[in-house]
Amino acid sequence: MASRAEQKAKARAERIAYEQKLAEEARRKQRLARLAGVVIAAAAVIVAAIVISSSNSTTAAVKVGTKASNTTVKRVSALLAGIPESGDNILGKSSAPIQITEFGDLECSACDYFALPTTLNTSAGVAGSGLENQLISTYVKTGQASLEYRSFETASGGAQNPAIWTPQQAGALAAGLQGKAWYYIELFYNEQLAEDSNYNQAYLDNIAKQIPGLNYSKWLSDINNPNLAAQVTSDGNAATSAGYRNTPTIVIKGPKGQAPAISGVPSSWSQIQTAIKQVGG
Amino acid sequence: MNQVVLRRAMIVLSAIGLGVATYLTYVHYSGIKPACTAGESCIKVQTSEWSRLDGVPVALLGLIGYVGILASLLVPDREESRLATLGLTLIGFSFSAYLTYRELFSIHAICEWCASSAVILTVLFVAAAFRYLAPAAASGAAATNGRVAESAAPEPAAKKRASATLGADGQ
């Protein structure tokens, strides 16, 4: 039989074990409570971040006649002033020794970055590259190069209204039938909404209405011309069969042949100049 | 995995993540093109509407997040610091998952810098969860780890007993 001292020791050990178990339990509960608190706090932060992120979308369309529209039209007019247009999408002298083709999607933000001057921010608030403006004023305005715009869908198809793709691009060609394709293109990029926005016919109409001197009702009937829609499709097919993957893709041709296509936004002005020199410009 | 090794690995990963976020923040503010193998994808992502949160570049938020995670890993290893790491990596992981969703389904372009940060945050989150929860799982059994259990002990008496019963740091 166990001695009194042994019994005491045993009781003490049991008590300690029990207390330890209770402490363990309390500790476990405390850990879980803290964990739950942190998870709830983290969830609140994430939900708030996602709500803010999702709501900062779609910049409003620039309405015709507003101050913002007038400023943009003035800027685009200054850029394009005195430059002839030919075909339904070519800016510059048709006899220019260098022919530059841009494959673009009017909703694509990289094209926007390429098209905008450095003084303007894209819809995401990043300053434009200024490259296309420099290209137009250095080579196209001086008659050394022509600049053709062809359609290649890379962004519009995934946006909220993919069906707008064809009329949206045909809109440029319809304006081109009146020698104003590049007004439409430049205005579109200058006022481009965030990618994935809900572009619709009313949006296109608003772009056309801002073009100085455009016969709007003629444009409105031309935009549904099946030949222009076919041209949009064949532009895309040409880009695909040439193996192009990005917009913008810049193709430069000259007396000495064709430079390797520049896929995506050119990394610098000198990349464009090098390509032009390479083909004899 | 050894807890010390795990912590060191997490510190290294956070430092890499901090580097990526610093680069993207620099790219955002300097207006230069990020180095990118996939054409204009990075530009597309970096100039998209989701590249900012109420005007603040998400790259900068990432940078701040990585600094926080790194700090929580560099302070003395306690239950509170592990919980802080877990909370921060949970936020980082969830938000980068959301941004990856936007890349795939709204922007239709993947920015490899952003994707690498998303992978780093996923690994960090899993590691942080393991690091916080592993001792809890063990404490249900007869033995528990030393240092963390000690610091988490609710009162001095229990703390003393825990060290007496369990002996030296189990890690």
Which tens digits make up the pLDDT trace of A96-112? 999 999 999 999 989 99
* Whether residue B149 is found in the same domain as residue B81: no
The per-residue pLDDT for B56 is 82
The per-residue pLDDT for A175 is 97
What sign does the CA torsion over A225, A226, A227, A231 have? positive
Cβ atoms A214, A222 nearer than 8 A = no
The per-residue pLDDT for B105 is 81
Residues in A closer than 8 angstroms to B55, CB to CB, are 125
The continuous run of DSSP H or E covering A148 comes out as strand A145-151
- Residue at A121: amino acid letter: N
Question: B169 pLDDT exceeds 60?
Answer: no
* Whether residue B170 is found in the same domain as residue B129: no
What is the percent of chain A where pLDDT is above 90?
73
| Rounded average pLDDT over A81-108 | 95
The per-residue pLDDT for B163 is 40
Tokens of A281: 């410009």
The per-residue pLDDT for B111 is 85
- Cα–Cα distance measured from residue A231 to residue A222, given in angstroms and rounded to the nearest whole number: 13
Closest approach of A160 to chain B, Cα-based (Å): 9
The per-residue pLDDT for B27 is 81
Contact yes or no for A245 and B90 at CB 8 A:
no
The closest of A219, A200, A222 to A209, measured between CA atoms, is A219
Q: Taking CA atoms, what residue in A is nearest to B101? A: A50
The per-residue pLDDT for B165 is 38
* Whether residue B73 is found in the same domain as residue B22: yes
Closest approach of A12 to chain B, Cα-based (Å): 13
The per-residue pLDDT for B54 is 75
How many independent structural domains does chain B possess?
2
Question: A64 pLDDT exceeds 60?
Answer: yes
What is the percent of chain A where pLDDT is above 70?
96
Contact yes or no for B90 and A264 at CB 8 A:
no
- Axis crossing angle, helix B79-102 with helix B112-139, rounded to the nearest 10: 140
**Locus of tokens 């976020």:** B21
The per-residue pLDDT for A139 is 97
* Whether residue B146 is found in the same domain as residue B115: no
Q: Taking CA atoms, what residue in A is nearest to B28? A: A126
Q: Taking CA atoms, what residue in B is nearest to A119? A: B31
Q: Is A217 on the interface with B (CB under 8 A)?
A: no
Q: Taking CA atoms, what residue in A is nearest to B39? A: A264
Residues in B closer than 8 angstroms to A29, CB to CB, are none
Question: B147 pLDDT exceeds 80?
Answer: no
* Whether residue B135 is found in the same domain as residue B149: no
Q: Is A60 on the interface with B (CB under 8 A)?
A: no
* Whether residue B132 is found in the same domain as residue B156: no
For chain A, the average pLDDT equals 91
Q: How confident is the model at residue A1 (pLDDT cuts 50, 70, 90)?
A: low
* Whether residue B48 is found in the same domain as residue B93: yes
Question: B151 pLDDT exceeds 60?
Answer: no
- Cα–Cα distance measured from residue A20 to residue B154, given in angstroms and rounded to the nearest whole number: 11
The per-residue pLDDT for B148 is 45
The per-residue pLDDT for A63 is 84
Q: Is A68 on the interface with B (CB under 8 A)?
A: no
- CATH number reported for the structural domain that contains residue B87 in this entry: 1.20.1440.130
The per-residue pLDDT for B139 is 40
| Rounded average pLDDT over A134-158 | 94
The per-residue pLDDT for A2 is 67
The per-residue pLDDT for A124 is 66
Cβ atoms B44, B109 nearer than 8 A = yes
* pTM of the complete model: 0.57
Question: A138 pLDDT exceeds 60?
Answer: yes
Q: How confident is the model at residue B40 (pLDDT cuts 50, 70, 90)?
A: low
Pick from A20, A30, A45: CB nearest B165: A20
Residues 72-91, chain A, touching B (beta carbon < 8 A)? none
* Whether residue B124 is found in the same domain as residue B153: no
Tell me if residue A102 falls in helix, strand or coil: strand
Domain residues for the domain of B59 are 3-139
* Whether residue B69 is found in the same domain as residue B121: yes
Which of B47, B90, B131, B148 to probe by mutation at the A interface, max A CB count within 10 Å?
B47
- Phi, psi at A117, each rounded to 5°: -70, 160
The per-residue pLDDT for B144 is 39
Q: Residue A31 class from Cβ within 10 Å (0-12 exposed, 13-18 middle, 19+ buried)?
A: buried
- Cα–Cα distance measured from residue A262 to residue B9, given in angstroms and rounded to the nearest whole number: 41
Closest approach of B103 to chain A, Cα-based (Å): 11
* Whether residue B74 is found in the same domain as residue B148: no
The per-residue pLDDT for A67 is 86
* Whether residue B133 is found in the same domain as residue B155: no
The per-residue pLDDT for B2 is 82
* Whether residue B169 is found in the same domain as residue B127: no
Tell me if residue A255 falls in helix, strand or coil: coil
Question: A152 pLDDT exceeds 50?
Answer: yes
The closest of A134, A147, A135, A132 to A98, measured between CA atoms, is A147
